[in-house]
Amino acid sequence: MLFHIPKVLDAGRLARCRQLLDTAQWADGRLTAGTQAAKVKHNRQLPEDGAEARELRAIVLEALSKSALFFAAALPKRIYPPLFNRYGGEANAFGNHVDNAIRTHPASAQHVRTDLSFTLFLAEPDEYDGGELVIEDGFAGRPVKLPAGDLILYPSYSVHRVEPVTRGARLACFSWLESMVREPQQRELLFELDMSILAHREQHGDDDVSVRLTSCYHNLMRMWTDV
């Protein structure tokens, strides 16, 4: 299942991100790719230890921590420190690949099992042609190209690619996370229940049904989470 999380970054945070990305020094994107992915990866990436990357990461992680929808959909346990990439010019595409199952943070040596991947778009769709993120989910790949500040969350086990950028530059933040709920079906059921409880409470307030459904939600969380 794919989740679209709109407006993760507000206009002010987005403008600061763009300022930092415009002055940053880019490196070869193959730095963080596995051996299979490296063969099809042609983009630029910010070195993880640069000053710009550090400030950008802090902005994104703070915004993610405030997004109730991101939390409900991902139930994040550990988020790999977000990375930033640029597709354009010669380095303009990333062919079909699957993300590595485990990412190990170079500084902390902490492992993150990649249950979910995300892309946070940092350029507006009219700034570039191509650059759709295509996620093979079911029979056909679904192309995703979102407004700047919006995020797509998708299963890390899916085969995915970034189509060639033929004009302008596609800027994005991306990373992976380990969820408190490992099984996608359980996670999706919890999300559906959570959203249904919210809708019920909006219509009926905190009636007895909402209390009982909320109790089911938390008891399922007790059964299924690993924290």
Contact residues for Ni ion, defined by CB under 5 A? 99
Closer Cβ to Ni ion, 99 or 178, answer by number = 99
Q: Which two tokens stand for residue 130?
A: 């191509």
Closer Cβ to Ni ion, 13 or 30, answer by number = 30
* Surface-to-core class of residue 22, CB atoms within 10 Å of its CB (0-12 exposed, 13-18 middle, 19+ buried): exposed
Question: Sign (positive/negative) of CA torsion 151, 156, 160, 162?
Answer: positive
Closer Cβ to Ni ion, 99 or 150, answer by number = 99
Closer Cβ to Ni ion, 163 or 194, answer by number = 163
- Give min distance, CB of 30 to Ni ion, in A: 13
Q: How far is CA 25 from the centre of its chain?
A: 23
- Give min distance, CB of 39 to Ni ion, in A: 13
- Give min distance, CB of 21 to Ni ion, in A: 20
Nearest to 190 by CA among 74, 112, 77, 79: 74
Residues in a beta bridge with 143: 134
Closer Cβ to Ni ion, 16 or 142, answer by number = 142
- Give min distance, CB of 33 to Ni ion, in A: 8
With CB atoms as reference, the residue minimizing the distance to Ni ion is 99
Give the Cα separation of 121 and 124 in Å (integer). Answer: 8
Give the Cα separation of 225 and 148 in Å (integer). Answer: 32
- Give min distance, CB of 124 to Ni ion, in A: 22
> Which SS3 state, helix, strand or coil, does residue 145 take?
coil
